[in-house]
Amino acid sequence: MSNVDLVIEERAASIGNFLVGRLLPFRQKRTVGPFTFIDHMGPISVAEHDNLDVDPHPHIGLSTLTYLFEGAIMHRDSIGSLERITPGAVNWMTAGRGVVHSERMPEDIRQTNPEAILHGLQIWIALPKELEEIEPSFVHIEAKDLPSWEEDGVSYKLIAGEALGRKSPVPVYSPLYYIEIKSEEQKKINIGSGLFGEAAMYILEGSVKSGEHEYESKNILISNDSTLCEFEIMPNTTVYIFGGNPLPEERYILWNFVSHDPAKLEKAKQDWIDQNYDVFPLIEGDSDSYVPFPDGMKSFKNKTK
Protein backbone atom coordinates (compact mmCIF):
# COMPACT_ATOMS: atom_id res chain seq x y z
CA MET A 1 0.00 0.00 0.00
CA SER A 2 1.77 3.13 -1.17
CA ASN A 3 1.90 6.20 1.06
CA VAL A 4 1.61 4.14 4.24
CA ASP A 5 0.81 6.59 7.04
CA LEU A 6 0.90 4.16 9.96
CA VAL A 7 1.89 0.56 10.69
CA ILE A 8 0.12 -1.14 13.61
CA GLU A 9 1.53 -4.36 15.01
CA GLU A 10 -0.79 -6.95 16.48
CA ARG A 11 -0.90 -6.76 20.32
CA ALA A 12 -1.96 -9.42 22.81
CA ALA A 13 -5.27 -8.81 24.59
CA SER A 14 -7.51 -10.98 26.76
CA ILE A 15 -11.20 -11.57 25.98
CA GLY A 16 -11.83 -13.84 28.91
CA ASN A 17 -10.65 -17.40 28.50
CA PHE A 18 -7.95 -16.89 25.89
CA LEU A 19 -5.69 -14.28 24.33
CA VAL A 20 -6.34 -12.62 20.98
CA GLY A 21 -4.30 -10.27 18.81
CA ARG A 22 -5.77 -6.78 18.98
CA LEU A 23 -5.43 -4.64 15.87
CA LEU A 24 -7.90 -1.80 16.47
CA PRO A 25 -8.35 0.51 18.31
CA PHE A 26 -4.80 1.84 18.57
CA ARG A 27 -3.75 4.97 20.40
CA GLN A 28 -2.63 6.66 17.17
CA LYS A 29 -5.55 5.43 15.08
CA ARG A 30 -8.91 4.62 16.65
CA THR A 31 -10.91 3.96 13.50
CA VAL A 32 -10.55 3.22 9.80
CA GLY A 33 -13.70 4.41 8.08
CA PRO A 34 -16.50 3.07 10.34
CA PHE A 35 -14.35 0.13 11.57
CA THR A 36 -13.70 0.61 15.30
CA PHE A 37 -12.39 -2.71 16.58
CA ILE A 38 -10.60 -5.78 15.16
CA ASP A 39 -9.42 -8.86 17.07
CA HIS A 40 -7.45 -11.71 15.54
CA MET A 41 -8.52 -14.95 17.27
CA GLY A 42 -6.06 -17.83 17.29
CA PRO A 43 -5.01 -20.02 15.68
CA ILE A 44 -5.53 -22.09 18.82
CA SER A 45 -6.54 -25.69 19.44
CA VAL A 46 -9.37 -26.82 21.68
CA ALA A 47 -6.89 -29.01 23.56
CA GLU A 48 -4.86 -25.96 24.64
CA HIS A 49 -7.78 -24.46 26.55
CA ASP A 50 -10.44 -26.02 28.72
CA ASN A 51 -12.96 -23.44 27.59
CA LEU A 52 -13.01 -21.35 24.43
CA ASP A 53 -16.47 -20.00 25.21
CA VAL A 54 -17.34 -16.32 25.49
CA ASP A 55 -20.27 -16.05 27.93
CA PRO A 56 -23.26 -13.75 27.31
CA HIS A 57 -22.19 -10.12 26.99
CA PRO A 58 -23.89 -6.95 25.71
CA HIS A 59 -23.40 -4.49 22.84
CA ILE A 60 -24.95 -1.22 21.72
CA GLY A 61 -24.37 1.12 18.77
CA LEU A 62 -22.50 -1.23 16.45
CA SER A 63 -22.58 -4.21 14.13
CA THR A 64 -20.30 -7.20 14.70
CA LEU A 65 -18.78 -9.16 11.83
CA THR A 66 -17.38 -12.63 12.56
CA TYR A 67 -15.25 -14.28 9.88
CA LEU A 68 -13.43 -17.59 10.43
CA PHE A 69 -10.41 -19.08 8.68
CA GLU A 70 -10.63 -22.38 10.60
CA GLY A 71 -12.97 -24.01 13.10
CA ALA A 72 -16.53 -23.21 14.11
CA ILE A 73 -18.41 -21.03 16.60
CA MET A 74 -21.98 -21.39 17.83
CA HIS A 75 -23.65 -17.97 18.05
CA ARG A 76 -26.64 -17.35 20.31
CA ASP A 77 -28.29 -14.01 21.04
CA SER A 78 -31.15 -12.38 22.92
CA ILE A 79 -33.31 -11.97 19.80
CA GLY A 80 -33.48 -15.74 19.34
CA SER A 81 -30.71 -16.34 16.81
CA LEU A 82 -28.86 -19.65 16.90
CA GLU A 83 -26.27 -20.09 14.16
CA ARG A 84 -23.14 -22.14 13.63
CA ILE A 85 -20.54 -20.24 11.65
CA THR A 86 -17.87 -22.06 9.65
CA PRO A 87 -14.90 -20.81 7.59
CA GLY A 88 -15.71 -18.34 4.82
CA ALA A 89 -19.22 -17.51 6.05
CA VAL A 90 -20.25 -14.27 7.78
CA ASN A 91 -22.18 -13.70 10.99
CA TRP A 92 -23.43 -10.10 11.00
CA MET A 93 -25.15 -8.97 14.21
CA THR A 94 -26.45 -5.44 14.61
CA ALA A 95 -26.73 -4.42 18.25
CA GLY A 96 -28.62 -1.16 17.78
CA ARG A 97 -30.26 -0.15 21.06
CA GLY A 98 -29.03 -3.29 22.81
CA VAL A 99 -28.37 -7.00 22.34
CA VAL A 100 -26.75 -9.83 24.30
CA HIS A 101 -24.89 -12.71 22.65
CA SER A 102 -22.59 -15.62 23.41
CA GLU A 103 -20.01 -17.42 21.30
CA ARG A 104 -19.21 -21.02 22.16
CA MET A 105 -17.29 -23.97 20.81
CA PRO A 106 -19.87 -26.37 19.29
CA GLU A 107 -20.40 -29.37 21.55
CA ASP A 108 -19.68 -31.94 18.84
CA ILE A 109 -16.23 -30.44 18.27
CA ARG A 110 -15.51 -30.12 22.00
CA GLN A 111 -16.38 -33.77 22.60
CA THR A 112 -15.01 -35.49 19.52
CA ASN A 113 -12.22 -33.34 18.07
CA PRO A 114 -10.02 -31.77 20.76
CA GLU A 115 -7.31 -31.00 18.18
CA ALA A 116 -9.65 -28.72 16.23
CA ILE A 117 -8.35 -25.23 15.52
CA LEU A 118 -10.21 -21.95 16.05
CA HIS A 119 -8.93 -19.08 13.93
CA GLY A 120 -10.64 -15.94 12.65
CA LEU A 121 -11.40 -12.24 12.95
CA GLN A 122 -13.91 -10.40 15.15
CA ILE A 123 -14.77 -6.94 13.86
CA TRP A 124 -16.91 -4.06 15.15
CA ILE A 125 -18.38 -1.46 12.79
CA ALA A 126 -19.96 1.65 14.27
CA LEU A 127 -23.52 2.48 13.26
CA PRO A 128 -24.44 5.91 11.87
CA LYS A 129 -25.75 8.27 14.53
CA GLU A 130 -29.36 8.07 13.29
CA LEU A 131 -29.29 4.25 13.44
CA GLU A 132 -27.72 3.71 16.84
CA GLU A 133 -31.12 3.01 18.41
CA ILE A 134 -32.51 0.59 15.79
CA GLU A 135 -33.85 -2.81 16.79
CA PRO A 136 -31.17 -5.49 17.05
CA SER A 137 -30.92 -8.00 14.19
CA PHE A 138 -28.84 -10.93 12.99
CA VAL A 139 -27.96 -12.18 9.50
CA HIS A 140 -25.92 -15.22 8.45
CA ILE A 141 -24.40 -15.28 4.95
CA GLU A 142 -22.99 -18.53 3.57
CA ALA A 143 -19.52 -18.51 2.00
CA LYS A 144 -20.91 -19.43 -1.45
CA ASP A 145 -23.06 -16.28 -1.49
CA LEU A 146 -20.16 -13.83 -1.15
CA PRO A 147 -18.79 -12.34 -4.40
CA SER A 148 -15.56 -14.18 -5.31
CA TRP A 149 -13.46 -13.85 -8.45
CA GLU A 150 -9.94 -14.21 -9.87
CA GLU A 151 -7.82 -11.71 -11.80
CA ASP A 152 -4.28 -12.34 -13.06
CA GLY A 153 -3.92 -15.38 -10.81
CA VAL A 154 -5.01 -13.45 -7.70
CA SER A 155 -8.14 -14.51 -5.76
CA TYR A 156 -10.52 -11.86 -4.44
CA LYS A 157 -13.56 -12.04 -2.15
CA LEU A 158 -15.79 -9.13 -1.15
CA ILE A 159 -16.87 -10.09 2.35
CA ALA A 160 -18.86 -6.95 3.20
CA GLY A 161 -19.77 -3.65 1.63
CA GLU A 162 -19.42 -2.43 -1.94
CA ALA A 163 -16.19 -2.00 -3.92
CA LEU A 164 -14.39 -2.99 -7.12
CA GLY A 165 -17.69 -3.03 -9.01
CA ARG A 166 -19.27 -5.64 -6.73
CA LYS A 167 -21.60 -5.70 -3.73
CA SER A 168 -21.73 -8.16 -0.82
CA PRO A 169 -25.13 -9.38 0.48
CA VAL A 170 -24.08 -8.47 4.04
CA PRO A 171 -26.53 -5.66 5.01
CA VAL A 172 -24.17 -2.84 6.02
CA TYR A 173 -25.41 0.57 7.19
CA SER A 174 -22.79 2.94 5.77
CA PRO A 175 -20.38 3.00 2.79
CA LEU A 176 -17.59 0.50 3.57
CA TYR A 177 -15.68 -2.51 2.24
CA TYR A 178 -13.94 -5.59 3.59
CA ILE A 179 -11.99 -7.53 0.94
CA GLU A 180 -9.95 -10.73 1.03
CA ILE A 181 -7.00 -11.04 -1.39
CA LYS A 182 -4.96 -14.24 -1.77
CA SER A 183 -2.07 -15.06 -4.07
CA GLU A 184 0.27 -18.02 -4.45
CA GLU A 185 2.62 -15.97 -6.64
CA GLN A 186 4.27 -12.57 -6.46
CA LYS A 187 1.91 -10.07 -8.06
CA LYS A 188 1.33 -6.32 -8.32
CA ILE A 189 -2.01 -5.16 -6.94
CA ASN A 190 -3.56 -1.81 -7.78
CA ILE A 191 -7.16 -1.51 -6.61
CA GLY A 192 -7.22 2.08 -5.35
CA SER A 193 -9.55 3.30 -8.09
CA GLY A 194 -12.20 0.86 -6.83
CA LEU A 195 -12.02 2.01 -3.20
CA PHE A 196 -12.99 5.15 -1.27
CA GLY A 197 -12.53 6.91 2.06
CA GLU A 198 -9.90 5.59 4.46
CA ALA A 199 -8.23 2.26 3.75
CA ALA A 200 -6.16 -0.24 5.70
CA MET A 201 -4.57 -3.60 4.99
CA TYR A 202 -4.20 -6.46 7.47
CA ILE A 203 -1.55 -9.03 6.53
CA LEU A 204 -2.78 -12.37 7.82
CA GLU A 205 0.02 -14.48 6.37
CA GLY A 206 2.94 -13.89 4.04
CA SER A 207 4.16 -10.38 3.27
CA VAL A 208 3.70 -7.38 0.99
CA LYS A 209 6.02 -4.76 -0.48
CA SER A 210 5.15 -1.09 -0.60
CA GLY A 211 7.80 1.15 -2.08
CA GLU A 212 11.16 0.08 -0.64
CA HIS A 213 9.61 -1.56 2.43
CA GLU A 214 8.44 -5.11 3.01
CA TYR A 215 5.84 -5.77 5.70
CA GLU A 216 5.30 -9.13 7.37
CA SER A 217 2.20 -10.85 8.75
CA LYS A 218 0.27 -9.58 11.80
CA ASN A 219 0.63 -5.94 10.80
CA ILE A 220 -1.97 -3.41 9.69
CA LEU A 221 -0.91 -0.77 7.17
CA ILE A 222 -3.05 2.36 7.15
CA SER A 223 -3.37 5.05 4.50
CA ASN A 224 -5.77 7.98 4.72
CA ASP A 225 -6.14 8.00 0.94
CA SER A 226 -7.68 4.80 -0.43
CA THR A 227 -6.82 5.74 -4.02
CA LEU A 228 -3.16 5.02 -3.18
CA CYS A 229 -3.89 1.34 -2.54
CA GLU A 230 -1.09 -0.11 -4.66
CA PHE A 231 1.32 -2.78 -3.45
CA GLU A 232 3.17 -5.95 -4.35
CA ILE A 233 1.86 -9.16 -2.81
CA MET A 234 4.43 -11.86 -2.11
CA PRO A 235 3.93 -15.62 -2.75
CA ASN A 236 1.52 -17.50 -0.45
CA THR A 237 0.12 -14.32 1.07
CA THR A 238 -3.36 -13.45 2.34
CA VAL A 239 -4.37 -9.87 3.12
CA TYR A 240 -7.58 -8.10 4.06
CA ILE A 241 -8.38 -4.60 2.81
CA PHE A 242 -10.95 -2.72 4.86
CA GLY A 243 -12.22 0.81 5.23
CA GLY A 244 -14.76 3.27 3.87
CA ASN A 245 -16.18 6.67 4.66
CA PRO A 246 -15.54 7.86 8.23
CA LEU A 247 -18.64 8.71 10.24
CA PRO A 248 -18.96 12.49 10.74
CA GLU A 249 -19.36 12.40 14.53
CA GLU A 250 -16.73 11.33 17.03
CA ARG A 251 -17.29 7.87 18.50
CA TYR A 252 -16.60 6.69 22.04
CA ILE A 253 -15.98 3.13 23.19
CA LEU A 254 -16.71 1.91 26.70
CA TRP A 255 -16.07 -1.83 27.02
CA ASN A 256 -18.48 -3.46 24.51
CA PHE A 257 -20.46 -0.29 23.87
CA VAL A 258 -20.03 2.24 21.04
CA SER A 259 -21.83 5.58 20.69
CA HIS A 260 -21.46 9.21 19.66
CA ASP A 261 -23.06 10.12 23.02
CA PRO A 262 -21.10 9.37 26.23
CA ALA A 263 -24.34 9.43 28.24
CA LYS A 264 -25.61 6.41 26.29
CA LEU A 265 -22.48 4.50 27.23
CA GLU A 266 -22.95 5.26 30.91
CA LYS A 267 -26.58 4.16 30.74
CA ALA A 268 -25.66 0.91 28.98
CA LYS A 269 -22.99 0.25 31.59
CA GLN A 270 -25.47 0.71 34.45
CA ASP A 271 -28.17 -1.32 32.70
CA TRP A 272 -25.75 -4.23 32.37
CA ILE A 273 -24.53 -3.95 35.96
CA ASP A 274 -28.16 -3.84 37.14
CA GLN A 275 -29.10 -6.71 34.78
CA ASN A 276 -31.91 -4.65 33.28
CA TYR A 277 -33.64 -7.31 31.18
CA ASP A 278 -35.76 -4.72 29.37
CA VAL A 279 -32.59 -3.47 27.69
CA PHE A 280 -30.43 -6.59 27.78
CA PRO A 281 -32.66 -9.71 27.79
CA LEU A 282 -31.52 -13.19 28.72
CA ILE A 283 -30.46 -15.57 25.97
CA GLU A 284 -32.92 -18.45 25.71
CA GLY A 285 -31.16 -21.79 25.88
CA ASP A 286 -27.88 -20.41 27.18
CA SER A 287 -26.39 -20.62 30.66
CA ASP A 288 -27.10 -18.17 33.49
CA SER A 289 -23.45 -17.08 33.52
CA TYR A 290 -22.46 -13.77 31.96
CA VAL A 291 -19.46 -11.49 31.50
CA PRO A 292 -19.51 -8.84 34.26
CA PHE A 293 -18.60 -5.24 33.57
CA PRO A 294 -14.84 -4.98 34.20
CA ASP A 295 -13.86 -3.53 37.57
CA GLY A 296 -12.00 -0.27 37.38
CA MET A 297 -12.65 0.43 33.70
CA LYS A 298 -12.62 4.17 33.10
CA SER A 299 -15.29 5.71 30.95
CA PHE A 300 -14.50 6.66 27.35
CA LYS A 301 -10.83 5.65 27.49
CA ASN A 302 -11.09 4.55 23.86
CA LYS A 303 -12.69 7.48 22.10
CA THR A 304 -12.22 7.01 18.38
CA LYS A 305 -10.65 10.30 17.32
Does any domain span residue 48?
A: yes
8 SS3 class: strand
Of the candidates 152, 176, 210, the residue with the CA atom closest to the CA atom of residue 32: 176
293 SS3 class: coil
Give the per-residue pLDDT at 49.
58
pLDDT tens-place string over residues 36-72: 988 888 787 766 655 568 899 999 999 999 999 999 9
Q: How many domains does the chain have?
A: 1
Give the per-residue pLDDT at 13.
40
Say which DSSP state 269 is in. Answer: H
Q: Check whether 205 is labelled as a binding-site residue.
A: no
Label each residue of 158-188 as H, E or C: EEEEEECCEECCCCCCCCEEEEEEEECCCEE
For residue 92, the Cα-to-chain-centroid distance in whole angstroms is: 10
Confidence band of 266 (pLDDT split at 50, 70, 90): very high
Mean pLDDT, the chain, as a whole number? 86
Q: What is the CATH number of the domain that holds 233?
A: 2.60.120.10
Q: Check whether 101 is labelled as a binding-site residue.
A: yes
Q: Check whether 59 is labelled as a binding-site residue.
A: yes
Measured distance between the N- and C-terminal CA atoms of the chain, rounded to whole angstroms: 23
Does any domain span residue 257?
A: no
CA distances from 245 to 9, 34, 226, 256 (A): 23, 7, 10, 22
Domain that holds residue 10: 6-244
Confidence band of 20 (pLDDT split at 50, 70, 90): very low
Confidence band of 21 (pLDDT split at 50, 70, 90): very low
Q: Check whether 103 is labelled as a binding-site residue.
A: yes
Does any domain span residue 201?
A: yes
Euclidean distance between CA atoms 75 and 58, whole angstroms: 13
Give the per-residue pLDDT at 3.
55
pLDDT tens-place string over residues 81-121: 999 999 999 999 999 999 999 998 888 887 787 678 888 99
Does any domain span residue 249?
A: no
Does any domain span residue 289?
A: no
What stretch of H or E contains 36?
strand 35-45
Does any domain span residue 259?
A: no
Let me know how long the chain is.
305
Confidence band of 19 (pLDDT split at 50, 70, 90): very low
For residue 153, the Cα-to-chain-centroid distance in whole angstroms is: 27
pLDDT tens-place string over residues 128-164: 999 999 999 999 999 999 999 999 999 999 999 999 9
pLDDT tens-place string over residues 119-138: 899 999 999 999 999 999 99
Does any domain span residue 38?
A: yes
